[in-house]
């Protein structure tokens, strides 16, 4: 059974306080990298899987995508997306990525930001995405980095000198992790870096670019707290072509 975390009012409220929830794409430090991977969207048909508040959907429309479909399992996230969206050109749809149906060969771009690490049946979803893209269509996504999803206790360890280290255990043990993040009982799916690549390759995608995101010097200067992200990447970004 899919956990619909973002419809839990406490979780929804906690998530709404993050910088990325308030400032949108510009509040997400990895956005510049994703944006570079996305390239030109004009004239394209785009789908956003786990669209949340719809930040990407609105950006894609502003980039002159001809149609944008945003899909999410959370009614609260979709309600916020609709509130924030003025004008036409975007359809929002309630849907579960665990059992998604998409029309075949109908999109030029499939995008997903920080949603696929919630999905248990990833190979089935990757097949659905592949089939929904036209030949040459692109799939660009981010997930929490496997070094973040692996540990049973994903918290910094600080030694008596104040040095931080990130604990990694059970890295090769793929599957569910239940941790505390905003609320307790949050379930994410851990899979290795290799699995993310091989699931795409096995499906027939050509992997075009992979990035283990870390902050630039300029970002650290503007937000010194980002410096700790250099101990380990927090996001994995991948672009692939059908
Ligand atoms: C971290 S938020 C990211 C939202 C948006 N992509 C962004 O980057 O601003 C993850 C989103 O994925 C959605 N999600 C998680 N599991 C899902 C599933 N099985 N089916 C559809 N959406 C899902 C959540 O409801 C939430 O809106």
Q: How far is the CA of 19 from the centre of ligand 1 (A)?
A: 16
Q: How far is the CA of 51 from the centre of ligand 1 (A)?
A: 6
Task: List, for residues 106-133, the tens digit of each pLDDT value.
Answer: 999 999 999 999 999 999 999 999 999 9
The residue-averaged pLDDT of 3-28 equals 95
Task: Return the percentage of the chain with pLDDT > 70, whole number.
Answer: 100
Nearest atom of ligand 1 to the alpha carbon of 97: 20
Q: Hey, which residues does 44 pair with through a beta bridge? A: none
Nearest atom of ligand 1 to the alpha carbon of 5: 25
Task: List, for residues 21-78, the tens digit of each pLDDT value.
Answer: 999 999 999 999 999 999 999 999 999 999 999 999 999 999 999 999 999 999 999 9
Q: How far is the CA of 128 from the centre of ligand 1 (A)?
A: 17
CB 49 within 8 A of CB 73: no
Q: How far is the CA of 136 from the centre of ligand 1 (A)?
A: 26
Structure token pair of residue 216: 């630039």
From atom 14 of ligand 1, which residue's Cα is the shortest distance away? Answer: 50
The residue-averaged pLDDT of 9-16 equals 95
Q: Ligand 1 site: residues with CB under 6 angstroms?
A: 2, 6, 50-53, 55, 72-74, 77, 96-98, 113-115, 118-119
Which residue pairs from 194-198 have beta carbons closer than 8 angstroms and sit at least 24 positions apart in sequence? 196/143, 196/146, 196/236, 196/238, 197/238
Q: How far is the CA of 117 from the centre of ligand 1 (A)?
A: 9
- Write down the pLDDT at residue 189: 98
- Mean pLDDT across the chain: 97
- Write down the pLDDT at residue 67: 98
From atom 13 of ligand 1, which residue's Cα is the shortest distance away? Answer: 50
Q: How far is the CA of 127 from the centre of ligand 1 (A)?
A: 19
From atom 25 of ligand 1, which residue's Cα is the shortest distance away? Answer: 74
pTM above 0.95, yes or no: yes
- Write down the pLDDT at residue 1: 81
Task: List, for residues 207-235, the tens digit of each pLDDT value.
Answer: 999 999 999 999 999 999 999 999 999 99
Task: List, for residues 158-183, the tens digit of each pLDDT value.
Answer: 999 999 999 999 999 999 999 999 99
Residues near 25 by beta carbon (within 8 Å), at least 6 away in sequence:
31, 35, 55, 56, 59
């Amino acid at each position: 059974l899919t956990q619909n975390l973002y419809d839990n009012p406490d979780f929804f409220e906690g998530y709404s306080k993050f910088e990325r929830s308030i400032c949108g794409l510009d509040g997400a430090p990895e956005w510049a990298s994703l944006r570079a991977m996305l390239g030109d969207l004009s004239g394209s048909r785009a789908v956003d899987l786990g669209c949340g508040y719809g930040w990407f959907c609105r950006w894609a429309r502003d980039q002159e995508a001809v149609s944008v479909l945003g899909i999410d399992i959370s009614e609260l996230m979709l309600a916020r997306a609709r509130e924030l969206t003025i004008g036409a050109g975007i359809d929002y749809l309630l849907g579960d990525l665990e059992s998604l149906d998409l029309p075949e060969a109908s999109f030029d771009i499939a995008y997903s930001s920080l949603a696929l690490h919630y999905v248990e049946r990833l190979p089935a979803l990757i097949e659905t995405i592949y089939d929904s893209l036209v030949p040459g269509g692109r799939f660009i996504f981010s997930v929490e980095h496997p070094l973040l999803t692996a540990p049973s206790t994903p918290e910094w360890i600080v030694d008596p000198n104040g040095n931080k280290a990130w604990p990694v255990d059970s890295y090769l043990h793929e599957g569910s992790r239940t941790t505390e993040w905003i609320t307790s009982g949050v379930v994410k799916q851990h899979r290795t870096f290799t699995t993310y690549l091989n699931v795409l390759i096995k499906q027939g995608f050509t992997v075009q670019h992979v990035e283990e995101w870390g902050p630039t010097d300029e970002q650290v200067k503007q937000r010194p707290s980002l410096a700790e992200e250099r101990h380990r990447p927090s996001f994995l970004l991948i672009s692939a072509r059908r």
